[in-house]
Amino acid sequence: MSNRALFWAGARRCIPVCVAAGPFGALFGALAVESGLSPFEAVLMSATIYAGASQMVGIDLFGQNIPAWVIVLSIFAVNFRHILYSASIGRHLGDWNGWQKAFGLFFLIDPQYAEAERRLEMGGKIEFVWYMGLATPTCLFWLSITWLGAQFGNLLKDSHSYGIDFLLPIYFLGLVMGFRKRSFWLPVVGVSALAAVIAYETIGSPWHVSIGAVAGIMLAAFFSPQARGKLSQSEGQVTS
Protein backbone atom coordinates (compact mmCIF):
# COMPACT_ATOMS: atom_id res chain seq x y z
CA MET A 1 0.00 0.00 0.00
CA SER A 2 1.26 3.49 -0.78
CA ASN A 3 1.86 5.90 2.07
CA ARG A 4 -1.08 7.97 0.97
CA ALA A 5 -3.42 4.96 1.01
CA LEU A 6 -2.07 3.90 4.40
CA PHE A 7 -2.62 7.36 5.84
CA TRP A 8 -6.21 7.38 4.61
CA ALA A 9 -6.81 3.87 5.89
CA GLY A 10 -5.85 5.21 9.32
CA ALA A 11 -7.79 8.44 8.92
CA ARG A 12 -10.99 6.58 8.08
CA ARG A 13 -10.88 4.95 11.50
CA CYS A 14 -11.15 8.35 13.19
CA ILE A 15 -14.89 8.67 12.59
CA PRO A 16 -16.20 6.56 15.50
CA VAL A 17 -13.50 8.03 17.73
CA CYS A 18 -14.59 11.58 16.94
CA VAL A 19 -18.30 10.85 17.28
CA ALA A 20 -17.79 9.34 20.73
CA ALA A 21 -15.18 11.79 21.99
CA GLY A 22 -16.69 14.91 20.39
CA PRO A 23 -19.43 15.72 22.90
CA PHE A 24 -17.02 14.95 25.74
CA GLY A 25 -14.42 17.31 24.28
CA ALA A 26 -17.01 20.07 23.89
CA LEU A 27 -18.13 19.52 27.46
CA PHE A 28 -14.52 19.77 28.60
CA GLY A 29 -14.12 23.10 26.80
CA ALA A 30 -17.32 24.42 28.37
CA LEU A 31 -16.44 23.30 31.90
CA ALA A 32 -12.87 24.59 31.56
CA VAL A 33 -14.12 28.10 30.82
CA GLU A 34 -16.67 27.80 33.60
CA SER A 35 -13.93 26.91 36.09
CA GLY A 36 -11.91 29.97 35.13
CA LEU A 37 -9.60 28.88 32.32
CA SER A 38 -9.35 30.99 29.20
CA PRO A 39 -10.32 29.34 25.89
CA PHE A 40 -6.60 29.45 25.03
CA GLU A 41 -5.72 27.52 28.20
CA ALA A 42 -8.47 24.98 27.51
CA VAL A 43 -7.14 24.33 24.01
CA LEU A 44 -3.56 24.30 25.32
CA MET A 45 -4.59 21.59 27.75
CA SER A 46 -6.17 19.53 24.96
CA ALA A 47 -3.10 20.02 22.78
CA THR A 48 -0.43 19.15 25.35
CA ILE A 49 -2.05 16.70 27.76
CA TYR A 50 -4.38 15.25 25.11
CA ALA A 51 -6.25 12.91 27.45
CA GLY A 52 -9.87 13.80 28.14
CA ALA A 53 -10.44 12.17 31.52
CA SER A 54 -7.33 13.67 33.08
CA GLN A 55 -8.16 17.09 31.63
CA MET A 56 -11.53 16.91 33.38
CA VAL A 57 -9.85 16.02 36.65
CA GLY A 58 -7.41 18.88 36.14
CA ILE A 59 -10.03 21.60 35.66
CA ASP A 60 -12.00 20.21 38.55
CA LEU A 61 -8.98 20.78 40.81
CA PHE A 62 -7.98 24.18 39.38
CA GLY A 63 -11.02 25.73 40.98
CA GLN A 64 -10.28 24.43 44.47
CA ASN A 65 -7.16 26.13 45.78
CA ILE A 66 -5.18 22.90 45.66
CA PRO A 67 -1.35 22.84 45.51
CA ALA A 68 0.04 22.62 41.97
CA TRP A 69 1.90 19.38 42.58
CA VAL A 70 -1.30 17.64 43.69
CA ILE A 71 -2.98 18.62 40.43
CA VAL A 72 -0.02 17.37 38.42
CA LEU A 73 0.09 14.12 40.39
CA SER A 74 -3.64 13.60 39.88
CA ILE A 75 -3.25 14.04 36.13
CA PHE A 76 -0.41 11.52 36.23
CA ALA A 77 -2.52 9.07 38.22
CA VAL A 78 -5.42 9.24 35.76
CA ASN A 79 -3.03 8.72 32.86
CA PHE A 80 -1.00 5.97 34.48
CA ARG A 81 -2.80 3.38 32.33
CA HIS A 82 -0.92 4.69 29.28
CA ILE A 83 2.22 3.01 30.63
CA LEU A 84 0.47 -0.29 30.01
CA TYR A 85 -0.63 0.74 26.51
CA SER A 86 2.88 1.88 25.74
CA ALA A 87 4.45 -1.36 26.99
CA SER A 88 1.92 -3.44 25.08
CA ILE A 89 1.98 -1.63 21.73
CA GLY A 90 5.71 -0.93 21.89
CA ARG A 91 6.37 -4.58 21.04
CA HIS A 92 4.89 -4.00 17.59
CA LEU A 93 6.72 -0.85 16.51
CA GLY A 94 9.73 -2.61 15.02
CA ASP A 95 9.73 -0.52 11.85
CA TRP A 96 9.64 2.83 13.64
CA ASN A 97 12.81 4.81 14.27
CA GLY A 98 13.48 6.58 17.55
CA TRP A 99 12.07 9.93 16.43
CA GLN A 100 8.91 8.32 15.14
CA LYS A 101 8.44 6.60 18.49
CA ALA A 102 9.12 9.78 20.44
CA PHE A 103 6.63 11.70 18.31
CA GLY A 104 4.00 9.03 17.65
CA LEU A 105 3.63 7.78 21.21
CA PHE A 106 2.50 11.26 22.27
CA PHE A 107 -0.80 10.43 20.51
CA LEU A 108 -1.34 7.11 22.33
CA ILE A 109 -4.81 7.82 23.71
CA ASP A 110 -7.31 5.05 24.57
CA PRO A 111 -9.01 4.80 21.16
CA GLN A 112 -5.72 5.17 19.31
CA TYR A 113 -4.35 2.24 21.28
CA ALA A 114 -7.53 0.19 20.84
CA GLU A 115 -7.53 0.77 17.07
CA ALA A 116 -3.87 -0.20 16.84
CA GLU A 117 -4.50 -3.41 18.77
CA ARG A 118 -7.46 -4.16 16.51
CA ARG A 119 -5.27 -3.73 13.45
CA LEU A 120 -2.76 -6.22 14.85
CA GLU A 121 -5.55 -8.63 15.61
CA MET A 122 -6.72 -8.48 11.99
CA GLY A 123 -3.21 -9.52 10.98
CA GLY A 124 -2.04 -6.03 10.08
CA LYS A 125 1.01 -4.08 11.12
CA ILE A 126 1.24 -0.75 12.94
CA GLU A 127 2.86 1.35 10.25
CA PHE A 128 3.87 4.84 11.38
CA VAL A 129 1.99 6.39 8.47
CA TRP A 130 -1.22 4.47 9.24
CA TYR A 131 -0.89 5.40 12.93
CA MET A 132 -0.45 9.09 12.16
CA GLY A 133 -3.31 8.87 9.67
CA LEU A 134 -5.55 8.06 12.60
CA ALA A 135 -3.84 10.38 15.09
CA THR A 136 -3.76 13.55 12.95
CA PRO A 137 -7.48 14.10 12.29
CA THR A 138 -8.39 12.80 15.75
CA CYS A 139 -6.09 15.28 17.47
CA LEU A 140 -7.15 18.20 15.23
CA PHE A 141 -10.78 17.35 15.90
CA TRP A 142 -10.11 17.22 19.64
CA LEU A 143 -8.57 20.70 19.58
CA SER A 144 -11.38 22.15 17.44
CA ILE A 145 -14.14 20.69 19.56
CA THR A 146 -12.45 21.92 22.75
CA TRP A 147 -12.37 25.42 21.32
CA LEU A 148 -15.99 25.22 20.17
CA GLY A 149 -17.04 23.99 23.60
CA ALA A 150 -15.15 26.84 25.23
CA GLN A 151 -16.92 29.35 22.96
CA PHE A 152 -20.42 27.94 22.85
CA GLY A 153 -20.51 25.87 26.02
CA ASN A 154 -23.85 27.19 27.14
CA LEU A 155 -25.49 24.94 24.58
CA LEU A 156 -24.27 21.95 26.62
CA LYS A 157 -25.80 22.89 29.93
CA ASP A 158 -28.15 19.93 29.83
CA SER A 159 -25.49 17.31 29.24
CA HIS A 160 -27.28 14.79 31.44
CA SER A 161 -30.44 14.53 29.38
CA TYR A 162 -28.33 14.32 26.20
CA GLY A 163 -26.55 11.33 27.73
CA ILE A 164 -23.09 12.91 27.36
CA ASP A 165 -22.00 11.79 30.82
CA PHE A 166 -22.58 8.14 29.90
CA LEU A 167 -21.44 8.28 26.28
CA LEU A 168 -17.88 7.28 27.09
CA PRO A 169 -18.76 4.19 29.17
CA ILE A 170 -20.87 2.99 26.21
CA TYR A 171 -18.04 3.72 23.81
CA PHE A 172 -15.47 1.99 26.01
CA LEU A 173 -17.75 -1.03 26.30
CA GLY A 174 -17.67 -1.16 22.50
CA LEU A 175 -13.88 -1.06 22.55
CA VAL A 176 -13.73 -3.85 25.16
CA MET A 177 -16.12 -5.97 23.10
CA GLY A 178 -13.92 -5.49 20.07
CA PHE A 179 -11.39 -7.79 21.76
CA ARG A 180 -13.83 -10.52 22.70
CA LYS A 181 -12.27 -13.11 20.38
CA ARG A 182 -8.99 -13.06 22.27
CA SER A 183 -8.30 -16.07 24.39
CA PHE A 184 -9.11 -15.59 28.07
CA TRP A 185 -11.03 -12.39 27.32
CA LEU A 186 -14.00 -13.03 29.59
CA PRO A 187 -12.02 -13.92 32.75
CA VAL A 188 -9.87 -10.82 32.27
CA VAL A 189 -12.89 -8.56 31.78
CA GLY A 190 -14.69 -10.08 34.78
CA VAL A 191 -11.77 -9.77 37.17
CA SER A 192 -10.82 -6.28 36.00
CA ALA A 193 -14.41 -5.08 36.36
CA LEU A 194 -14.76 -6.53 39.85
CA ALA A 195 -11.40 -5.22 41.03
CA ALA A 196 -12.12 -1.78 39.53
CA VAL A 197 -15.45 -1.48 41.34
CA ILE A 198 -13.96 -2.61 44.65
CA ALA A 199 -11.03 -0.21 44.27
CA TYR A 200 -13.38 2.60 43.29
CA GLU A 201 -15.43 2.04 46.43
CA THR A 202 -12.49 1.62 48.81
CA ILE A 203 -9.45 3.55 47.58
CA GLY A 204 -11.26 5.83 45.19
CA SER A 205 -10.83 7.30 41.75
CA PRO A 206 -8.59 7.38 39.72
CA TRP A 207 -6.70 4.46 41.23
CA HIS A 208 -9.47 2.02 40.32
CA VAL A 209 -8.19 2.11 36.74
CA SER A 210 -4.65 0.99 37.53
CA ILE A 211 -5.70 -1.46 40.24
CA GLY A 212 -8.44 -3.06 38.14
CA ALA A 213 -6.12 -3.27 35.16
CA VAL A 214 -3.30 -4.88 37.12
CA ALA A 215 -5.75 -7.47 38.51
CA GLY A 216 -6.82 -8.51 35.00
CA ILE A 217 -3.26 -8.49 33.69
CA MET A 218 -1.98 -10.62 36.58
CA LEU A 219 -4.79 -13.09 36.00
CA ALA A 220 -3.77 -13.43 32.36
CA ALA A 221 -0.09 -13.63 33.25
CA PHE A 222 -0.63 -16.51 35.67
CA PHE A 223 -3.64 -18.44 34.45
CA SER A 224 -4.22 -17.84 30.73
CA PRO A 225 -3.50 -20.76 28.40
CA GLN A 226 -0.95 -18.58 26.63
CA ALA A 227 0.99 -17.94 29.85
CA ARG A 228 0.94 -21.61 30.75
CA GLY A 229 2.48 -22.45 27.39
CA LYS A 230 -0.54 -24.20 25.96
CA LEU A 231 -0.86 -21.90 22.99
CA SER A 232 1.74 -20.53 20.67
CA GLN A 233 2.14 -16.77 20.71
CA SER A 234 0.22 -16.18 17.51
CA GLU A 235 -2.68 -18.31 18.69
CA GLY A 236 -2.68 -16.44 21.96
CA GLN A 237 -3.30 -13.17 20.16
CA VAL A 238 -6.41 -14.31 18.36
CA THR A 239 -8.42 -17.39 19.11
CA SER A 240 -11.72 -17.76 17.39
DSSP element (H, E) containing 123: none
Whole-angstrom distance, CA of residue 134 vs CA of residue 105:
13
For residue 225, the minimal CB distance to another protein (Å) is 8
When computed from its CA atoms, the radius of gyration of the chain, rounded to whole angstroms, is 19
- Considering only residues 72 through 101, tell me which ones interact with another protein, judged by CB under 8 A: 72-73, 75-76, 79-91, 93, 101
Q: Where are the alpha helices (DSSP H) in the chain?
A: 3-12, 14-34, 39-48, 52-62, 68-79, 81-90, 98-104, 110-121, 128-152, 164-177, 185-202, 207-223, 233-237
Query: Is residue 44 involved in binding another protein (CB under 8 A)?
Result: yes
Query: Is residue 37 involved in binding another protein (CB under 8 A)?
Result: yes
The binder of another protein chosen from 1, 5, 170, 203 (CB under 8 A)? 170
**143 or 176: CB nearest another protein:** 176
Whole-angstrom distance, CA of residue 22 vs CA of residue 16:
10
Q: Where are the alpha helices (DSSP H) in 178-224?
A: 185-202, 207-223
For 207, phi and psi rounded to 5 degrees? -70, -20
The binder of another protein chosen from 5, 102, 140, 155 (CB under 8 A)? 102
- Considering only residues 212 through 231, tell me which ones interact with another protein, judged by CB under 8 A: 212-222, 224, 226-227, 229
Query: Is residue 128 involved in binding another protein (CB under 8 A)?
Result: no
**58 or 137: CB nearest another protein:** 58
Three-state DSSP class for residue 21: helix
The binder of another protein chosen from 117, 119, 145, 149 (CB under 8 A)? 117
- Considering only residues 3 through 22, tell me which ones interact with another protein, judged by CB under 8 A: 15-16, 19-20
**2 or 98: CB nearest another protein:** 98
